[in-house]
Structures are given as C-alpha cells and as structure tokens.
Amino acid sequence: MKDKFFFQCVNCNAEYPGHQVLYLCPKCSSLDSQQPPKGVLKVLYHYNEMSKSGMDFRTLDQKGFVDLLPITELSFFPNLRIGNTPLYKIDGTSGNSFPFDLYLKDDSQNPTFSLKDRASALVSAYAREKQLNVIVAASTGNAGSSIAGICASQGQRSVVLVPASAPAAKLTQMIMYGAVVVPVDGTYDDAFDLSVQISNEYGWYSRNTAYNPLTVEGKKTVSLELFRDMNYQIPDRIFVPVGDGVIISGVYKGFEDLLKLNLIDKIPVIVAVQAEGSCNLIRNLNTGFFRSENSRTIADSISVDYPRNYYMAREFNHHYHGAHITVTDIEILNASKKLAASTGIFAEPAAAAAFAGFQKYYAINRIEQGSRNVVLLTGSGLKDIGSVQPILSLPEPVQPDLETVKRFLKL
C-alpha cells in the first residue's frame, strides 16, 4: 500500500517514504553550529491523484484537513481547540480609515496563546499514532510552552530545553503544564544542539522547529483557514513575523498545497517581517553563503542567529516572489501599543512585528487601494509583558475620595 505522503529534501531533492520517522535528509543533512541545518525535509502528497478524485476544498475542510496532513485519523489530535482562530476585519486605526481591506488573524487564541500550538498538536498526534510517549524540544519560550500544554492534554511527557534568559511568563507556562524544564546557560542554538543529542540518545521524539518536518505541516493550517474564512479567495498580501523561517514556510506551504490541487491559481504575496536587530534570514536571501550576526531584539520569539528553516524559506521566497521588510524595536513597541489601543488585541513583540511591517508598508505607499491584506498575529502580549514596560507610564495612586479622582481625570 502506497504511503499517504512522502518526504523531499529541500537541498538535494532526495525523496523518502512517509511511513518512517525522519528528521533531516539521510543523504545530505548537516548540523553545523555556525550554519542553518541542511537536509530539512518537506512533506508532499500525491496531488495529481487527489485532484483526479474530484477533491474540493469544502470536503477537505469538513474532514478537518486530515487528507492534507501526515496522519491517519483526527482522533490522535488533542481534545483542545487548536486553530480555527478569529479573523477580524479592521477598518482603520487611530480614527483613520484604510483605503484597502485589513484583516488580523489572531492566533493568540490558541490554547497556549500562540500559533505554535498548530505545530505542537500535529507533532503530538503523530507521536501518539506512533506510540512515542516522550517529546523533547528546544525553545526560546513559545514552542516550549506549546508542546508542554499539548502534551499535558494528551498524557504525554515533555522535556524542554530553554535559554535561561527566556521570559518568566513562558517558563511559568511550561512548568505549570508539567514539563521537565532544563534552563541552559547559553543561547537557543546551544539548547537546540543539546536537545538533538538527548533525543538521539534516548529515542525521544523531537518537536524541534524545522528539524521535525511536521512543524511546517502543522503551521500551514493557518493558510487553509484563511482561504476558508475569506470566502474561498486568497488575500493579496500577508504580513508574517519571521525568526527561524518555519511559520512563514508553513504559510507558503498551505497555499502551495492548494495550488497543487488546482484549488487556487496563484499564491499571495507573503511579506517576511524581521526585527532589524535579528534579520539573519532576510539578510541572506540573496547571498551565496549564509553569514550570521548576533541577534539583539526585544522580540525574543523571533530572535535567531541561525534560522533553522532558512533554506526552505528562501526557496519559497524566491519561487513565489515574496517580499520582505525589517522593523526596529521602537517600531515594534509602538505597533504593539497602537494595535492594542485600536483593536483590543494585545500581541507580544514578535507578533506585533508583523503589524509594524504592515504600518511601514502603508507609510511608504506600498499597499494598493482596494487590496486585501492580512496581518498574522502569532502570540499573546501576556507572554512577555516585560518588553513593553519602557512604553508604559503607570500613574501614582490617588486618595480614595471623589474630588481627588475628578482632579486626576481633569473633570
């Protein structure tokens, strides 16, 4: 019986059957600590056969997209509500109306308050199907709290290696979910390398971003939802915050699957937004050799020296003529405040970076009148309240009497 899916290496194009547990390409993989990994695998399906069977999007949707996921049954997924997050149409901000359509896809509404639950849910479901009961991950925070929460709902054990500098709120989440948390006195890259070593030694299933090809597959569901929620049409442009390149690859992959099934005829312009102090993926999009610079940004979730999905993200960007822009930390903080005050959505800095990218595009007249634009908000601001403290001004307490309160309110 033919496998439902197969793997293809993004570097050498070698293909492998889907029934085996694979991480990187056995032929050309490399985990050089000074370069993004080579041999990252892409999950592919038998698109021609699926198209000939008359598959349509509504049928895919009704079946929970299981036909486009590397798993046999939806019953392996956690019973938490993963995905199906709100898509809000925003007419304007600060009293100004937009001459185009703007939508906010709020993935902070996932169970652990980040888009990464989409990847964790699929990794957990696959592990459950394969009877793998321990899942290990390296994380700057969101992926770790995500896999911890999802594993808690599935009765699985999670082990998370994190830089000791990870935000307290995210560490708190992991511990409350019952994960074994290993703080590493080093960088995310140090934690990543250690997690791979311990996964290999003990046979634990790795959730590591990009290293596990299912992380892209889980995140692509956000694109399938966007297509459904926009009445089976694609937007003109999507702003995506970028760190290691997995979320943006997932956004591309969801639309690419629809393209290969002849359900759409083109892919939206995907705008990669990176923090100016951590733009190693964008900086190397058109170079012959990857060169990293030390990352410094308040947006910890997208602070990455060596983007783990660099090669796949670069290929998607080139093949589908994607765009990119960088934003400063000040622009990110201001975007976070404006977004919260104008829409009621409090996004963490990494998510607010996408909104900052949108604002910058708008300011330089790169958004066409009448176009349809989406900003992907990937995580809740409550995950990292420390980052926004510099732009907050908390008033001193007043005496508990009406006249004092009136003077305070300048009434």
Q: Does residue 161 lie in a domain region?
A: no
pLDDT of the residue at 342:
95
Model pLDDT, residue 1:
65
Q: Which pair of tokens denotes residue 200?
A: 């290999």
Q: What is the pLDDT of residue 387?
A: 84
pLDDT in tens, 350-389: 999 999 999 999 999 999 999 999 999 999 999 888 888 8
In this prediction, residue 204 carries a pLDDT of 97
Residues in the chain with pLDDT values less than 50: none
CATH number at residue 256: 3.40.50.1100
State pLDDT tens for residues 259-296. 999 999 999 999 999 999 999 999 999 998 999 999 99
- Is 14 a domain residue? no
Residue 58 domain flag:
no
Crossing angle of the two packed helices 117-129 and 246-260, in degrees rounded to 10 = 70
Total domains present in the chain:
1
**Inside any domain, residue 286:** yes
**pLDDT computed for residue 187 by the predictor:** 83
Distances (CA, A) of 223 to 87, 149, 250, 302: 12, 23, 8, 20
In a domain? residue 24: no
Is residue 220 situated within a structural domain?
yes
Within-domain flag for 150: no
Amino acid (1-letter code) at residue 175:
I
Note down the domain range covering 254: 87-111+215-391
Question: Is position 191 within any domain?
Answer: no
Contact between 7 and 41 under an 8 Å Cβ cutoff? The reply is yes
- The rounded distance, in Å, linking the Cα atoms of 205 and 73 is 19
